[in-house]
Structure 1
Amino acid sequence: MSVPLYQAKAELFRTLGHPVRIRVLELLQDGPKPVRDLLAAIDVEASNLSQQLAVLRRAGMVTSYRDGPLVMYALSTPDVADLLAAGRRILGAVLTDRDGLLGELRADGPDR
């Protein structure tokens, strides 16, 4: 029996619910990177990075391959970068709306 689409989407977004995973995906937007470069760019223990990469692999958001002695990671599809860009746009809109609301509240004074 297949999983309903809404449940699959929820799983996808749960996968994105960790800052290290988001940072890995951001770093991979520029192209494949070896684990050592990811580790140098993210301030986490190697075991933690390994766990987060495994979660991203299982979710199908990244792929891994060997390049000689290096284990390389890459985004599985350019759509992952598009999703990150959409998240950035949404955050920008939400924060802009909040800033606008705050400005309105301050302009209206304490009684309104």
Structure 2
Amino acid sequence: MPDDLQRYEARAAVFKALGHPARLLMVDALAKGERCVCDLTALVGADVSTVSKHLAVLREAGVVESRKEGVSVFYRLALACVPGFIACVDAHLRQGALERVSMLA
């Protein structure tokens, strides 16, 4: 059972890392390709310190990886299944919205 608990804790860490709108926005961008912190900062509309903290959460959970090039740090998506999961969630949300609209009609 301890191995199972560790697995569930590791899964929870990934879901927790994805549990912020700014981090989901960055993950969506990284699904399209590698980005530097400066690009992600502009995308999120937050300061470098805040974006770096969000990226550290994603990196710690294994969702993203980074590499340094000179003074710039570039991030890429490490967990390839995340875009598919997000697409599944989006489809579920669309279906729910359609059902609510049809109930109102």
Q: For residues 60 and 32 of structure 1, do their structure 2 counterparts lie closer, same or farther at Cα, with a shift above 3 Å needed? A: same
- Partner of residue 29, structure 2: 27
- The 2-side partners of 1:37 and 1:72 are apart by 9
Q: For residues 5 and 102 of structure 1, do their structure 2 counterparts lie closer, same or farther at Cα, with a shift above 3 Å needed? A: farther
Q: For residues 40 and 86 of structure 1, do their structure 2 counterparts lie closer, same or farther at Cα, with a shift above 3 Å needed? A: same
- Partner of residue 86, structure 2: 84
The AA in structure 2 aligned to 1:52 is H
1:58 aligns with 2:60: yes
- The 1-side partners of 2:14 and 2:68 are apart by 26
Gaps of 5+ in 1: 104-112
The alpha-carbon deviation at position 27 of structure 1 amounts to 0.8
- The 2-side partners of 1:14 and 1:101 are apart by 33
The alpha-carbon deviation at position 4 of structure 1 amounts to 5.4
Gaps of 5+ in 2: none
Where has structure 1 moved over 3 Å in runs of 4 or more? Answer: 4-11
Whose radius of gyration is greater, 1 or 2? Answer: 1
The alpha-carbon deviation at position 11 of structure 1 amounts to 3.2
Q: Deviations over 1:77-107 (max 9, x none)?
A: 321111221121111111111112222xxxx
The AA in structure 2 aligned to 1:25 is V
TM-score in terms of structure 1 length: 0.80
The alpha-carbon deviation at position 60 of structure 1 amounts to 0.5
Give yes or no for contact 2:37–2:72 (8 Å, CA) kept in 1.
Answer: yes
- Partner of residue 73, structure 2: 71
Q: Deviations over 1:8-27 (max 9, x none)?
A: 43333222211111011011
TM-score in terms of structure 2 length: 0.85
